[in-house]
Structure 1
Amino acid sequence: MGPYLLAILFLATPPQRLSSSFESNVRFRLDTGAAAQPIDGVIREIRFVGLKRIFSEALQRHINSRVGEPIDQRVVERDVRALASLDWFDSVRAEAVPMRDSADGGGYSDLRLLFELGERPYLSQVEFHGSELLSRERIMQLFAGKKITLKVSAPLDRAELWRASRVIKGQLQELGHPQADVRVLLEEVSTATVQARFEIQDGPRVAISEVTFSGNQVFPQKLLQHQMAQVAPKARFAGLRHKNIYTQERLDEDLDRVSEYYRNHGYATARIGTPILETRYHLEPRRLPFRRRRMVLQFHLSVPVSEGTFYQLGAVEVHDEPPAGRFSERADSLVAHSGLKPGHIPLREGEPFDPEKLRSGLERLIRTGYISTFKPEDVHLQFDEVDRNVEVSIRVTEVGQQKISLIGGWSNLGSTIGAAYSVFNLLGGQELIDSHIEGGPDSLHLAVRIAEEGLFGSRVSASLTVFQDVLRPHLPGVLGNRHFLSTRSSGFGVGWGYPVALNETLTTNYTISRQNTQYAVELPPTLTGLASNQTGSSASIHSFGLDWVGENGSQHWDTGASVSGGRLGGDENLVRSSVEYDRVRRDPLTNGRNSWAFRSYAAGVSSFRGDLLFQNRYFTGAELLRGFRQGEMAPYAVEDLTDTSGKDSFQAIPTGADLIAAMNAEYRVPVAPRTQVVAFYDTGSGWLLPNWLGPNHPVVLAGTNGILRASTGLELRWQVPIVEQPLRLDIAVNPLRLAKSFLLPDGSRFRAPDRLLGWGWALGPLF
């Protein structure tokens, strides 16, 4: 009776040289039906053959087959897989060998179970030779970024060596060396021990000199070349910006942009062909006198384009039933069976068919809160090849006319949470009426709003809001560490909005309100801006503002300006402006799993008649710089608070700022559903410019105006269900802060309350 081959698993054919074709050297096969006939017998002995460094006892713990038990081929197959998963062997083979027959001749046979193992050699050393561009330290940094570990004094991992060679070659290609080559040589040092030597050939630097398109009849060459962001040899300072470097990944990304440009301009069937890469020799220009000119290698890229058919937008139908047959309405009609108006979807008959506009329109419908999320079968596109138009049918599912929801977030009122009640189409004019109450530790906000989108069939939206706000800023360490003023504002506002472009909106608003401010203590007019020592003030405010908000993929910007007083009337005469820009970029080193985020912000306020009141200045803190409390970005003023007894008493009080600027950088790592860990660095400053304050100026404490502050730390974010706002818990170290004491006129000393280590929480995104 011969041996029975139970299972065999080839992990890799051990090549002596790992090259770019190493993948073809890897074979993975499991012969599950290798036994020619059913096997009956009892395992009397288990042997491991082919071991050089590993002891048999160490392997016995990883298999389930046991001496004295009947043999089971399925168990043996699992044992083979278990041994293979240890990454210690190139091949694992199991074989059952009969030892002797049982005494009665009809029972089980005694079997010897053999595991033939091709043990991997140990890696003793890793060397890098040949590259003048990449040092060993740089290569190891690349490996760390790709999570590649070449373990020395451990079993050789050929797949990891191959990945390492691809990373080196890819980096050289990113540096403009497309003909770079990386080979891995394995040299046997001693028994079962090898060293790996990476032979790296940088190759010549080859720049791409020109990118041309063929087959394009509608869009000129320059316009299509302008869509190329990565491979753009004609761009300004292309060499310094590495835009004359060709890699397949860069090219694929750019060609996706070109294809998207065609689709968004009515050419839904446009196709980009296979690019043709030609190698040409070029006589380099003479940049220095007496320098010998030489022939250099350059790439020329030709991209074939098939533009296809131009499609215009035909009928757009919004309904609550599945589409059936052809449209019965005229091509320029928009049927809104669900109470939706044309302004909800930025699509017009006769325009080039733009899938991006369609997607944006669907997102706008969902954001109304009365439409369920769309499924693929809810949007039906019908291409008419004769008339060359696209008819769009959108099936909507309404959530309901009334809605109660939890709201919350982060605003100029701090962290807030509350509830909102909304009613849609109550008066039959497709209007939205909502009321909400929202509050936090330092604020309370009440509002009732009526809004109308698609006013008179246009793309303009209008709103009327009646509101009342209560704000009690808390400045730690000042005047007994308490709320030292309380501001109440009530009034109404009228707003208009118009989408000036895709994902860009211009809004205007006119507000009339009454503001009452009460101070906890009597403060001098040089600090508050009031006419005399008062503990309260009242002002009528008439303001007009403009705001431009837009987003483009991963970018977002918000620019606003407002004016109060003057010809508008009211007691307040000031100008405000602010600008904010933020951007999120996927981290390529983690295949887009993690991301970088950046935000810059600046704001200013100035009085053009009278004094800039205390409550109209900026008392910023954690909303711009995490780790700092409210008011700690502002400078301090020295004020004489002498009591009735005549005893001198000087205090350093935050004066607020009339100009602030900040920058934030984040690295976001998702660790669980709805949860992120964020590493951050924030920096910024606040200034009190006397020329912007009016006639009365506080005495600013020298050394506190315009001080640069910075914080760095970690933040834990959890997306709160229902509210759908992130709860942020952060801990920060403040390396740049106001960390010294100041001598006051009465001989006392003032130490700013800026903390070295701070923590905080907030509801809502920072940006």
Structure 2
Amino acid sequence: RFLGAEAGKPYDFHRWEKGLTRLRSEYKGAGFLTVHLTDAVERCEPSSDLLCPVVTVEEGRRYDVRWEGVSAFTPDRLAEGTGLRADEEISEGALVHDLRERLVAFYRGRGYLRFDADVTVEKPNADRTPLVVSVVEGKRGYVKDVRIEGNRGLSEKTFHGQVTTKGRGVFHWITDSGHYSDEEWNDDMNAIVGLYQKSGYARMKILGVDDVWDDRGGIVKTIRTEEGPRYRVREIVFKGNDHSLRTGLLGLMRNKEGAYLDYPGAEADQEAVAKNYRDSGYLDVRVESEVIFDENASAALRFAIVEGPRYRLGNTVVRGTLLTEAEAILRENPIAPGGTAGEKDLLRFQQAVYATGLYKSVRVQRVKRPEEGVLDLVFEVEETLFFEVEFGGGWGTDTGFRGLLGAKEKNLDGLGRSVSAQAIVSQKEQKFIGDLREPWIFGNRWKWEGGLTGFYDKAERVSFDLRQVSIVASITRKVFERSSVSLQYELSRDEVSNVAPGAVLSPEDQGYATIAAVRALAALDFRDNPFNPKKGALLSGSAEVATLPLGSSVDYWKLSGQSSFYFAVLRHSTIVLSGRAGTARAFGGTQEVPIQKRFFLGGRTTVRGFKEDTLGAKAADGTPTGGDMMVNLNTELRVPLRGELIGAVFVDAGSVWFARNTVGGFDLRKTSGLGLRYLTPVGPIGLDYGWKLDQREGETAAEWHFTVGAVF
């Protein structure tokens, strides 16, 4: 019943493992807290294809858990919170210790800073063994202040900037200040020691921590320190560096002669020297470091180096390819034939092979020939599935219901050439895309990816409808892990219809137009996480020009860019600052930038106090016309609430206008609001409510926006 295995049915490994977990949980729920399961899956008979799974159960003692002194939580909540009935196994010897440690962490993490517990195993009674858990919960408290004594060398401000445990502030319900965690406190103690040792106090000690409580449960924690002498680096000595100059090695190090000793940095310096040698082909290098302290508060750093042979790349053997060619791996090699086989380049080689998306595992065996100074490589790969199907659906305030269906073949010719098709359909837009990708359009020396993409797009905008058929030829190069540059040529046939009368500013704003444009794009992503970033930056920009010599019936140029910066603040919160701007101009025989190429603002990703594309320049009848100038600013504070739920407070501002319009020019509109985000593996689901800070006659006071994916 628990194992989920039935005679005569196929053996399912995952179902079997889940069954073992259920069986273990049932035993622990019945009091067998130290139960041990051993399973084996063998053939029923040597010549048979039938399997006979066997589970051996060692029940151990049956415990009767008795809770004493518990009032803040129910016994079931404590059993769940301490993992008493969890599916992992625990030995008899570790039961008492682990249970107490988990109880302490559970209570103190919830503010019971004076909590203590005693866990004892009493003599068996009948068929059960009493496990008595006596607790002293104490009063729920908080950290009122954190202080330091004995800090002559480092300021109080420097100290407070190093620790994450903070005294409770006015906005503690947002910042989580005053919260105590054993894990964070231990990290703070290590951080303080590390800070001192980096500043020259190599023998600094923490003598103890004094806790003083007040009547309201506030605790003042005072850290007593003994700094000891502050050491300077007298000299740095290298021995065995036959193929590296001393000046070059000194440039790699955190420690400098004459500066205060960075004691933990000595180990980092040792690794920096070793890494430099390995990256230069000395793969067997050994580096040992020693810090010698003098009586006059000075120190010497000595590094003993055994370089070993310098390797150059020999043969590269590929194994495991069935549907791909060996060339798909070999062309990723950044090392020239017979070139130096440095650690950094070898790792780049392996990562580049995995990044092709053709293999789900890439293992590299290094075969060294030290006498010859040659390194041979054996690549063992396991190919992935090359055909993918994707589908999805959702709803947004700007699109209504929408759905996605796509398919992709990633390996047309054994060398990673791919073809894909995708349909994205919503209540306001229908888009169909076909795409062909060639990984090495100019050969593996330049590493540009070539693309040929066809689009069909039918969309309803605020002021017009657009039907577009286009083809885009592009070359793209990856410059960092999540950054790229791209050059494109697009030829499209646009039909603009149902244009609001006030939005028609030139003949190009309605009817048919052929647009041929060249475009340059760049995207630099330095965020720590693309789905839920807490620090880093995202920078992007584009420039395009359409003109008659390219095959276009309209002439214009357009520039736009966006920058978003992410800062971790208030323990676990994040501030996001984002700005975007753009300009466009018509030239030649074109009177105005075509309406489908103008800038529009308003909506869930720009200024959230307005509906989609309704902010900015308007005709006399109130119809949004778009503009040839745009600026958009966003500030957002994101605060974790519970689990994957995040609260947000934001201020947005933006303006769209025509540069040559002296009457209705730049007009910065401002909105503010609140939002909720729920994090999912594919990005956040968000709900925002933005209200206008400068509401005008005829405008709504606020707008709701629902979105799937990052706002910015």
TM-score by length of 2: 0.63
Aligned-residue offset at 1:498: 4.3
Please tell me the residue identity of whatever aligns with 1:660.
V
- Deviations along 1:100-121, one digit per CA (max 9) or x if unpaired, are xxxxxxxx9xxxx9x9x99999
CA distance in 2, matches of 1:684, 1:123: 40
C-alpha change, 1:56 and 1:396, in structure 2 (3 Å) is closer
C-alpha contact (below 8 Å) 2:364/2:379 kept by paired residues: yes
Q: 1:492 aligns with which of 462, 465, 471?
A: 471
Aligned pair partner of 1:447 in 411, 415, 433? 433
Q: Which amino acid letter does the alignment assign opposite residue 199 of structure 1?
A: R
Q: Structure 1 residues 187 and 605 mapped into 2: Cα distance closer, same or farther (>3 Å)?
A: closer
> Does the alignment pair 1:466 with 2:412?
no
| Aligned-partner SS, 1:391 | strand
Is 1:729 the counterpart of 2:654? The answer is: no
Look up the equivalent residue of 2:207 and give its one-letter code: R
Check the 8 A contact 2:208/2:224 in 1, yes or no.
yes
Q: Does 1:716 align with 2:678?
A: yes
Show structure 2 runs of 5+ residues with no match: 1-67, 77-90, 105-114, 169-175, 214-218, 529-535
Change (3 A) 1:366 1:387: same
| Distance in 2 separating the partners of 1:426 and 1:364 | 19
* Aligned-residue RMSD, C-alpha: 5.8
User: Within the alignment, does 1:143 sit opposite 2:123 as a pair?
Assistant: no
Equivalenced residue count is: 580
1:513 to partner: Cα distance: 0.8
| 2:281 matched residue in structure 1 | 266
Show the counterpart of 1:700: 664
CA distance in structure 2 between the aligned counterparts of 1:599 and 1:251, rounded to whole angstroms: 38
| Secondary structure of the corresponding residue to residue 273 of structure 1 | strand
- Report the residue type matching 2:436 in the other structure: I
Q: Secondary structure at the match of 1:383?
A: strand
* Structure 1 residue 740 corresponds to structure 2 residue 691: no
Say whether residues 1:619 and 2:600 are aligned partners: yes
Q: Which residue in 1 is equivalent to 2:340?
A: 352
Contact 1:606 1:612 in 2 (8 A): yes
Alignment partners' CA distance in 2, 1:256 and 1:166: 21
Counterpart of 2:553 (choices 563, 571, 581) is 571
Look up the SS of the partner of 1:545 in the other structure. strand
**CA apart distance, 1:414:** 7.8
Other-structure match for 2:156: 134
**Where in structure 1 are there 5+ consecutive unaligned residues?**
1-53, 63-73, 97-107, 152-156, 239-243, 282-296, 323-334, 474-482, 642-650, 720-724, 743-748
Aligned-pair distance for 1:595? Answer: 8.8
Contact 2:541 2:562 in 1 (8 A): yes
Q: Contact 2:368/2:376 (CA < 8 Å) preserved in 1?
A: yes
TM-score, structure 1 normalization: 0.59
Q: 1:750 to 1:219 in 2, by over 3 A?
A: farther
Q: Structure 1 residues 78 and 433 mapped into 2: Cα distance closer, same or farther (>3 Å)?
A: closer
Amino acid at match of 1:349: P
1:524 CA drift (Å): 5.0
Confirm or deny that 1:530 pairs with 2:506: yes
Q: 1:597 to 1:79 in 2, by over 3 A?
A: closer
Map Cα deviations across residues 288-320 of structure 1 (whole Å, 9 max, x no partner). xxxxxxxxx677655555554333333333332
The correspondence of residues 418-457 of structure 1 with structure 2, limited to 5 A, is 418-424=404-410, 426=412, 431-455=417-441, 457=443
C-alpha contact (below 8 Å) 1:422/1:433 kept by paired residues:
yes
- Distance 1:530-1:266 versus aligned 2 partners, 3 A rule: farther
Matched to 2:631, the amino acid is I
- State whether structure 2 residue 313 is matched by structure 1 residue 313: yes
Structure ID, larger Rg: 1
SS in 1 for 2:472: strand
Compute the displacement of 1:264 (Å): 4.0
**Cα 1:260/1:680, change in 2 over 3 Å:** farther
Which residue of 1 is the match for residue 582 of structure 2? 604
Report sequence identity in percent.
Answer: 14
Cα deviations by residue, 1:521-552 (Å, 9 ceiling, x for unpaired): 21154xxx3249x7x23321111122345567
1:444/1:182 Cα in 2 relative to 1: closer, same or farther (>3 Å)? Answer: same
Distance 1:611 1:441 in 2: 30
How far does the alpha carbon of each residue in 1:196-229 deviate from its partner, in whole angstroms, 9 at most, with x for none?
865345667767798776654555566556656x
Deviation of 1:493 after TM superposition, in Å, equals: 1.6
Tell me the SS of whatever aligns to 1:740.
coil
Matched, 1:640 2:594: no
Helix, strand or coil at the partner of 2:382: coil
Kindly indicate whether the alpha-carbon contact (under 8 Å) linking 1:143 and 1:167 is maintained by their aligned counterparts in 2. Answer: no
Shift of 1:491: 1.7
Question: 1:349 offset after TM fit, Å?
Answer: 2.9
CA distance in 2, matches of 1:275, 1:346: 36
User: For residues 145 and 484 of structure 1, do their structure 2 counterparts lie closer, same or farther at Cα, with a shift above 3 Å needed?
Assistant: farther
Larger mean CA deviation between 141-150 and 451-460 belongs to 141-150
Judged with a 3 Å threshold, the aligned counterparts in structure 2 of structure 1 residues 689 and 55 are, in CA distance, closer, same or farther, namely closer
Q: Distance in 2 between matches of 1:751 and 1:56?
A: 58
How far apart are residue 358 of structure 1 and its match? 5.0
- Aligned to 1:340, the other structure's residue is in SS state helix
Provide the rounded CA distance (Å) in 2 between the counterparts of 1:766 and 1:410.
15
Q: Aligned runs of 1:543-558 on 2, under 5 Å?
A: 543-549=517-523, 554=528, 557-558=539-540
Q: Matched residues in 1 for 2:260 and 2:194: separation?
A: 12
Residue 739 of structure 1 and its aligned partner are, at CA, apart by: 2.0
CA apart distance, 1:472: 2.6
1:464 is displaced (CA, Å) by 1.7
For 2:605 and 2:183, how far apart are their aligned partners in 1? 47
2:490 counterpart letter in structure 1: T
Contact 2:366 2:377 survives alignment (8 Å): yes
User: 2:289 aligns to what SS in structure 1?
Assistant: coil
Question: Quick one: which amino acid aligns to residue 706 of structure 1?
Answer: L
- Within-5 A mapping of 1:121-520: 129-131=149-151, 133-134=155-156, 138=160, 142-144=164-166, 169-170=193-194, 180-184=204-208, 198-201=223-226, 215-216=240-241, 218=243, 231=254, 259-276=274-291, 305-320=305-320, 337=325, 340=328, 342-344=330-332, 346=334, 348-357=336-345, 359-360=347-348, 362-366=350-354, 368-369=356-357, 371-374=358-361, 378-406=363-391, 417-424=403-410, 426=412, 431-455=417-441, 457-458=443-444, 459-473=447-461, 483-498=462-477, 505-520=484-499
- Counterpart of 1:11 in structure 2 is none
Q: Is the 8 A contact 2:201 2:227 kept in 1?
A: yes
Cα 1:162–1:487 change in 2 (3 A) is: closer
Query: Distance in 1 between the 2:424 and 2:606 partners?
Result: 24
Q: How far did 1:245 drift?
A: 7.1
Alpha-carbon distance in structure 2 between the residues aligned to 1:56 and 1:450 = 66
SS at 2:366's partner residue?
A: strand
Give the CA deviation at 1:451: 2.0
Amino acid at match of 2:390: S
Between the aligned partners of 2:243 and 2:546, the Cα distance in structure 1 is 50
Note closer, same or farther for the CA distance 1:731–1:129 as it changes in structure 2 (3 Å cut). Answer: same
CA-CA distance at 1:437 after TM superposition: 1.3
CA distance in 2, matches of 1:362, 1:140: 38
2:552 match: secondary structure = coil
The alpha carbon displacement at 1:607 in A equals 1.0
The 1-side partners of 2:349 and 2:389 are apart by 24
Comparing 311-320 and 414-423, the one that deviates more: 414-423
CA distance in 2: counterparts of 1:700 and 1:686, whole angstroms: 15
C-alpha spacing 1:136/1:340, structure 2 compared with 1 (3 Å): closer
